[in-house]
């Protein structure tokens, strides 16, 4: 049995980076350096960027320890550094359009459903008086790996 | 002619309705406190502030919120550009779910 999390991560990354409309958003556009990152963002990259991460996952099993699928929660957010969150709304809305109700495969992984959950809007004060803005939401994903 | 007669010898439903309301609140409260305690166990500790401020708050007769009000809690829980998420509330919630369902089942067994 293989883990599902790496397959779902690959699916989200492919889903977002394959969309020309999304990659054209931002200044510089997200396509410059393909600024879509799992877990954390490398230092020195330009903003805005997209940050996504696995939160939790529960296996759904049948009798006999047979895993049917995994119920997962992911967080996907647009983020930028600056005095305002300008441009994040368009990116976050495009992510919603791409992910809500989506399904697909990534290697041996099958994503059955991807459904929107709670929205998140956060502002983090950075050293030096700068601010990092985050806008996006949690996603509920049902997936399995064959 | 063949007939079957059904007679109610004992009706616990009227009394159960009132007790159901009272005890549902109790089960929910107990679950909220367990969830709070699990969240405190799951929360990362640096200064201890994050863990110490997690609390359960009554929001209605059958409605409790477990909150982590420390100003940086959201960044720890959901992650930042420099730090992966540490979703201690979600983990606590998943861990508590079976205990809540068992407690609710046991309450229904007692009442009905």
Supply the DSSP string of chain A, one letter for each residue. Answer: ---SHHHHHHHHHHHHHT-HHHHT-TTTTTTTTT-EEESS--TT--SSEEEEEEEEEEEEEETTTEEEEEEEEEEEEEEEESSS-TTHHHHHHHHHHHHTT--EEETTEEEEEEEEEEEEEEEEE-TTS-EEEEEEEEEEEEEEE-
Cβ of B94 within 8 Å of Cβ of A56? The answer is: yes
Tens-binned pLDDT, residue by residue, of chain A (146 aa):
789 999 999 999 999 999 999 999 999 999 999 999 999 999 999 999 999 999 999 999 888 888 899 999 999 999 999 999 989 999 999 999 999 999 999 999 999 999 999 999 999 999 888 999 999 999 999 999 98
**Interface with chain A: mutation pick from B78, B81, B101, highest number of A CBs within 10 Å:** B81
Domain edges within chain A = 5-144
Query: A5-144 has which CATH code?
Result: 3.30.2000
Cβ of B80 within 8 Å of Cβ of A55? The answer is: no
**pTM score:** 0.87
Give A11-32 pLDDT, tens digit per residue. Answer: 999 999 999 999 999 999 999 9
Residues of A whose CB is below 8 A from B80: 40, 124, 132, 134
Measure B72 CA to nearest chain A CA, in Å: 8
Give B55-97 pLDDT, tens digit per residue. Answer: 999 999 889 999 999 999 999 999 999 999 999 999 999 999 9
């Amino acid at each position: 049995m293989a883990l599902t999390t790496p397959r779902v991560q690959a699916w989200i990354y492919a889903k977002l980076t394959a969309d020309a409309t999304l990659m054209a958003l931002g200044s510089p556009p997200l396509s410059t350096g393909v600024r879509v990152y799992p877990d954390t963002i490398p230092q020195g990259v330009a903003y805005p960027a997209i940050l996504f991460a696995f939160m939790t996952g529960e296996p759904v099993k049948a009798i006999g320890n047979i895993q049917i699928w995994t119920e997962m929660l992911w967080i996907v957010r647009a983020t930028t550094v600056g005095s305002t969150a300008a441009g994040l709304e368009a990116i976050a809305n495009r992510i919603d359009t791409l992910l809500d109700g989506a399904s697909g495969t990534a290697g041996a992984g099958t994503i059955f459903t991807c459904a929107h959950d709670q929205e998140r809007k956060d502002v983090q004060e950075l050293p030096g008086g700068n601010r990092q803005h985050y806008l996006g939401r949690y996603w509920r994903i049902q997936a399995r790996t064959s | 002619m063949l007939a079957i007669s059904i007679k109610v010898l004992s009706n616990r439903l009227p009394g159960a309705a009132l007790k159901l309301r009272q005890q549902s609140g109790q089960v929910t409260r107990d679950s909220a406190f367990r969830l709070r305690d699990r969240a405190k166990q799951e929360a990362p500790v640096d200064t201890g502030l994050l863990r110490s401020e997690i609390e359960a708050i009554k929001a209605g007769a059958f409605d409790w919120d477990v909150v982590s009000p420390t100003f940086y809690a959201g960044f720890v829980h959901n992650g930042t550009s420099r730090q992966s998420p540490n979703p201690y509330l979600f983990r606590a919630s998943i861990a508590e779910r079976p205990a809540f369902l068992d407690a609710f089942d046991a309450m229904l067994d007692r009442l009905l």
